[in-house]
Chain A
Amino acid sequence: MADTSTRLLDGPRGPKPKSNFSRRNIMLYGTLLLVAVYYAIPLYVMIVTSLKGLPEIRMGNIFSPPMEVTFEPWAKAWGSACTGLNCEGLSAYFWNSVKITVPSVIASIIIASVNGYALANWRFKGANVFFTILIFGAFIPYQVMLYPIVIMLREMGLYGDLSGLIIVHTIFGMPILTLLFRNYFTSLPEELFKAARVDGAGFWGIYFRVLLPMSLPIFTVAVILQVTGIWNDFLFGVVYTGPDAYPMTVALNNIVNTTQGVTEYNVNMAATILTALVPLSIYFVSGKLFVRGIAAGAVKG
């Protein structure tokens, strides 16, 4: 009788070997690399340019690293670049943007999450009509409503003020955020909601103590969407606020489009990066949760 080890014949045995350099992998990673480079180059040029002095920029090698690193453009962009007549840099406008973004994000998320919760779990009369109207709102171009809102804000005495802009942002965030929250809450097991009702929790009790603690991913998604959306907004900012209350994006535009004197590319680049820094850092901090939340909430209709 043969020993057991001799029962193995030549040929495939154990796990199938995987080649790291298969054609499929080369295609896959090659494409990924290409796309990554394509998107990274502009950022690289911006950072490199912002660290150069003007004479070096005029030499024209936009891809070469700075010979002499200088942070002066950054300081200037933040503190003393001229936006129109005043030369205070972006700092004041940065705080304007913060004052606009923080309340708008908080208000819109609170309202939209309660909306979504009510739509998903408490099917009140007319819920479908309400939801349809809300979703319809997402498809109306902003520009159509610009002027009517100017009039409305003027009548309310909020035109040219930060609070007017905050209200506008909160309202315009409503359709997409409500949809997001409704879909997320619909995807949670319905029995959980039923169990909480049997346990005597009311509308707010279920919202705060049962659903909210399990909704971190979708709240992260909402925060990211809203922070980037509101921070990057230019149109509403320029229309509904006065020069003192301009958000950072409007100020950035004014710095970059200034027609007097030389164009300071390094300052422009630094100012742009400074402006983009907030949404960018939010992505870096919570990217993982973002993906999870998008997958959980946005896919299911």
Chain B
Amino acid sequence: MTLVESSISIRDLDLRFGNVEVLKGLNLDIGVGEFLVLLGSSGCGKSTLLNCIAGLLDVSDGQIYIGDKNVTWAEPSERGIGMVFQSYALYPQMTVEGNLSFGLKNARMSKAEIKQRVSRAAEILQIEPLLDRKPAALSGGQRQRVAIGRALVRDAEVFLFDEPLSNLDAKLRADLRVEIKKLHSRLGNTMVYVTHDQIEAMTLADRIAIMKGGQIMQLASPNEIYNRPKNLYVAEFIGSPSMNFIKGTLEDNQFVAEGLTIPMEGYSFAEGSRRSGAAIIGLRPEHILTGDNLASAVARAEAKVSLVEPMGSDTIIYANLGQHPIHIRMDGQASVAPGDMVEIGFQPARANLFDPQSENRL
């Protein structure tokens, strides 16, 4: 995705609570109409960053631009944002309509305008029949729609989502995920979405920023993050079941570990990286070939199955490749049993190599 102009620009942002540095020197530019997902495990600073963008936390240093305005000192309501919270944060004593119109009333908007905006938002989110109800009389999914509606009526340039689906059950989460994606393509706003759920991140994002310890580990499209993770942390974080890692050395364009040699023909090295020495190879369980797919494999080996997890659509097998424990995603109909030997194949082009010291991609 090319950035026409940036909608949100975060420049050298620092945030400290006392002596604890939560965000350090963070830079991030988000394009107009982009859907950016901040992904990371808890405590990585992703929600903190979102709160800084919203103006709910005062930053220690650095600047935040929304549009072309410096909003570093602006009140949350002056930033042209709408925000959706994990706990919905609906005002319990107001009806749905009251919840939707609260912000507009605070902005002293005319009654006719408020009415028109509320009915438009209600129509988009299909909550028209609920307008007279109190939040307590709504289901979780309906509440979250109202919360999105509250951001919607503000006609905000930027939508901020703070783990909006985490409190919902799995089915509803999947439904609302699709709806948020539809909403984004319909409205075309910039959206910043915080989550710890990688499925949400992969499905929704134009770009994902993976965060750890207050810093962005990688900022790229979901495809790039999945296929070419920049470092070990990202590689391990993305993908379920997670990537297999085997320690070894790189020599003569081959990856050599104990009892295992994989030629690296077709692997595209990162620019300027070394081609020999200690390395860690990362293999996604779904990129290890088995059965009929073996034909396209560059190298083959045999692994002894130790555990089988049939999941219907596919089967995860835990196996030992020599003494390296690995897990492999196989077809759901594959019939394997613990103790079997399976033939597996590798595709160097889809493998990942990392430097054990710097943990960066080779």
Contacts and interface: CB of A to CB of B under 8 A. Distances in A.
Interface of A: 189, 191-192, 194-201, 205, 209-210, 213-214
A201 B93 contact: no
Contact of B87 (A189, A201, A209, A214): A189
Contacts of B310: none
Given A191-B86, A205-B106, A198 B81 contact: yes
A102 B234 CA distance: 64
A36 B72 CA distance: 62
A194 B82 CA distance: 11
Contacts of B85: 191, 194-195
Please name the 7 residue pairs, one residue from A and one from B, whose CB atoms are nearest each other, closest first: A200-B77, A199-B103, A191-B89, A200-B106, A195-B89, A213-B93, A191-B85
B267 interface: no
Given A199-B77, A200-B77, A194 B89 contact: yes
A136 B218 CA distance: 50
A200 B150 CA distance: 12
A194 B102 CA distance: 13
Interface in B91-132: 91-93, 102-103, 106-107
B343 interface: no
B238 interface: no
Report, as a range, how many residues of chain B touch the other chain: 20 to 34
**Chain A contact surface mostly:** helix
A195 B93 contact: no
A198 to B, nearest CB: 5
A191 B103 contact: no
Interface centre among B55, B81, B82, B91 (most CB of A within 10 A): B91
Interface in B48-86: 51, 54-56, 75-77, 81-83, 85-86
Contact of A200 (B86, B107, B162): B107
19 contacts: A191-B86, A191-B88, A191-B162, A192-B89, A194-B51, A194-B76, A195-B90, A196-B91, A197-B56, A198-B54, A198-B56, A199-B102, A199-B106, A200-B75, A200-B77, A201-B77, A209-B91, A209-B102, A214-B92
Nearest to B92: A214
A199 B150 contact: yes
Nearest to A213: B93
A298 B76 CA distance: 31
A200 B90 CA distance: 15
Interface centre among A192, A199, A209, A214 (most CB of B within 10 A): A199
A197 B75 contact: yes
Nearest to B162: A191
A198 B86 contact: no
